[in-house]
Amino acid sequence: MRTEVDALVVGAGIVGAATALALTRAGSRVAVLDRGIPNSAGSGTTAGNLHIQTIHARRPGQGIAVDVERLLPLQKATSGLWDALAGSVPDLGLVRCGGFMVAETADQVDRLRMKHEWERAAGIPTELLTGDEARRALPLLGPAIEGATWCPWDGFAEPDMAGPALLRQAEAEGAGVYSNTPVTALRRTGDSWEADTPAGIWHSPVVIDAAGPWMADIAALAGVRLQLTPTALQMHSLAAAPNTLDVLVQHVGEGMSIKQDRRDRLVLGGGWPAGPFHTSEPAPVLENSTSGNLAQVARLLPKLSGAHLLEAWTGPVVTTPDEMPVIGELDGAPGLFVAGGTYSFTFAPLWAELLTALVLGKEPELDVSAFSPSRLAQFPTQ
């Protein structure tokens, strides 16, 4: 089979799905290739939080801190794009419940004040609260809370709904979606790329590498070594009565997130590490991450401390040496674009819009040159 398209998207997770939809709506002929079943890896196994206010700079075990202030303009931009998608994509699973970011120490309260100033400068609405004010607003919070910020734009998207909904809509509007179709070779021929798959060869002037933990593998097929590291994170769910928690709660100094999903589960995230990343199977669950995450719940929301642990699961992500996102065209590989890294779930609609502008030769509305994949690239791979 020889197939020609305007853009080839590699990876059918939430970034690939959103990008396929944006490109299709811009008039491009798009094909999406996934190595397995779409949404079965990173995007479908994440906690699904929408990080609009600034969060903790380090997940548990993370060495380099995220430069969270630099990301705030991107968080503001993606917030509005999520709302726009909810108006045109059925069953997106978007919940804009608002969220608290809590602090337990004087130093953490100072961080809340600093981030509140950053957010105000970026146009993101947050309210700075004392511990007592936070407990009056959310009585589940325990006495250890010394302060909080509230952001009405925070929320989450159900991870088993969001990516598939975007992919279905892209397909309904004309994109081709091909599961169990891994790219096995990628080469530049003239002004186009050839992508080999078990089903045949695809030809396109543009390739979007949105393969999540396998982004570096796809780039390597084109002779580019990207400094990207797949890793695995761990999530947990607790049993709860309906309407137990109607907001998102996170911690400014630790890896911690908790909210209640449509199935009434309390879903815990926050970047707790799982066992080693595996290419073909989920990473193992770590007991220390489970006990650590549950201890946070007992300390921060003590009324929930007796909740029954329903499930612990793991999901892969991809990280950069500077713990920042990666977005843009690779220097030295014209037509090859990369998107992923930090906050990929939150940034998916924004990455889709920016990639569409770049592919079509338009000036993006936001300058993301600092997050170019070229900062992570080496040519050629030998």
Going by the DSSP 8-state scheme, the letter that residue 149 receives in this structure is: E
How would residue 113 be classed by pLDDT, with cut points 50, 70 and 90?
very high
CA 1 – CA 259 distance, rounded (Å):
47
State yes or no: pLDDT of 339 exceeds 70: yes
How would residue 51 be classed by pLDDT, with cut points 50, 70 and 90?
very high
To which H or E segment does residue 225 belong? Answer: strand 225-226
Rounded mean pLDDT, 121-136: 98
Say which residues have a Cβ less than 8 Å from residue 227's Cβ, sequence separation at least 6. Answer: 216, 320, 321, 376, 377, 378
Lowest mean pLDDT among 61-75, 132-146, 198-212, 239-253: 61-75
State yes or no: pLDDT of 364 exceeds 60: yes
Other CB atoms within a 10 A radius of the CB of residue 141 amount to 21
Rounded mean pLDDT, 368-382: 83
State yes or no: pLDDT of 382 exceeds 50: no
Q: Which two tokens stand for residue 112?
A: 């809340």
Closest Cα to residue 352, out of 94, 95, 166?
A: 166
Question: What is the reported pLDDT for 67?
Answer: 87
To which H or E segment does residue 107 belong? Answer: helix 106-122
State yes or no: pLDDT of 58 exceeds 90: no
Closest Cα to residue 77, out of 363, 342, 373, 354?
A: 354
Rounded mean pLDDT, 166-191: 96
Residue 198: cis peptide before it, omega within 30 degrees of 0: no
Going by the DSSP 8-state scheme, the letter that residue 281 receives in this structure is: S
Q: Give tens-digit pLDDT for 266-289.
A: 999 988 999 999 888 899 999 999
Rounded mean pLDDT, 129-153: 98
Q: Give tens-digit pLDDT for 224-249.
A: 999 999 999 999 999 999 999 999 99
Mean pLDDT of the chain: 94
Domains recognised in the chain with CATH numbers: 2-44+161-228+322-378 (3.50.50.60), 95-154+230-315 (3.30.9.10)
How would residue 97 be classed by pLDDT, with cut points 50, 70 and 90?
very high
Lowest mean pLDDT among 33-47, 61-75, 206-220: 61-75
How would residue 379 be classed by pLDDT, with cut points 50, 70 and 90?
low
Look at phi and psi of residue 137 and say left if phi exceeds 0, alpha if psi is from -120 to 50, else beta: alpha
Lowest mean pLDDT among 51-60, 63-72, 129-138, 266-275: 51-60
CA 51 – CA 259 distance, rounded (Å):
13
CA 366 – CA 375 distance, rounded (Å):
18
CA 266 – CA 307 distance, rounded (Å):
9
State yes or no: pLDDT of 1 exceeds 80: no
State yes or no: pLDDT of 381 exceeds 70: no
Q: Give tens-digit pLDDT for 195-223.
A: 999 989 999 999 999 999 999 999 999 99
How would residue 99 be classed by pLDDT, with cut points 50, 70 and 90?
very high
Rounded mean pLDDT, 292-317: 95
Q: Which has more pLDDT, 167 or 365?
A: 167
Q: Using a pLDDT cut of 90, give the percent of the chain over it.
A: 88
Rounded mean pLDDT, 188-192: 93
